[in-house]
């Protein structure tokens, strides 16, 4: 008999939060609002109940969270270069195995970072909010 521990709702919430973080903090550093809007329409990293059923064990949920966190760490590094490529590809492939669509290669982010001007995006979280 094998005992399997199911993923928890807090893990599902954490995964959803990491995806939101990528859309609001990572993608705006590399892509235009139109490109990010396109990513939403083609459901890049979008999770559904079916996805959460697919990574229903604690181990699966932790693998997904770790893969997303690793990609975030790589993409937030001040210098992107080829020594991150294997790690990036391994984690992107891991997300693909769990049914999450992440159609990028590290080179796309390297090129986008070199071409992107300062971040001003509707996807970024506001630095301040006006209270009325």
- Rounded to whole angstroms, the Cα distance separating 93 from 80 reads 19
Query: pTM for the whole thing?
Result: 0.81
Confidence of residue 120 (pLDDT cuts 50, 70, 90): low
Torsion of CA 72, 63, 98, 4, to 10 degrees: -160
Q: Check: CB of residue 94 under 8 Å from CB of residue 47.
A: no
- Please give the Cα distance from 32 to 112 (Å, whole number): 10
pLDDT per position as a tens digit, 55-98: 667 788 899 999 999 999 999 998 888 889 999 999 999 999 98
Distance CA 87, CA 74 (A): 9
Task: Give the phi and the psi of residue 78 in degrees, each rounded to 5.
Answer: -65, -30
The predicted model gives 33-59 an average pLDDT of 82
């Amino acid at each position: 008999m094998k005992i399997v521990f199911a993923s928890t709702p807090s893990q599902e919430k954490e995964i959803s939060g990491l995806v939101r973080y990528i859309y609001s903090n990572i993608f705006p550093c590399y892509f235009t609002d139109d490109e990010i809007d396109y990513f939403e329409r083609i459901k890049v990293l979008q999770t559904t109940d079916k996805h959460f059923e697919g990574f229903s064990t604690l181990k699966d949920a932790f693998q997904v969270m770790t893969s997303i966190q690793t990609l975030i760490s790589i993409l937030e590094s001040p210098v992107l270069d080829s020594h991150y490529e294997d790690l990036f590809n391994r984690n992107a492939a891991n997300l693909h195995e769990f049914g999450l669509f992440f159609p990028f290669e590290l080179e796309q982010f390297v090129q986008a970072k070199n071409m992107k001007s300062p971040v001003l995006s509707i996807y970024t979280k506001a630095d301040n909010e006006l209270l009325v």
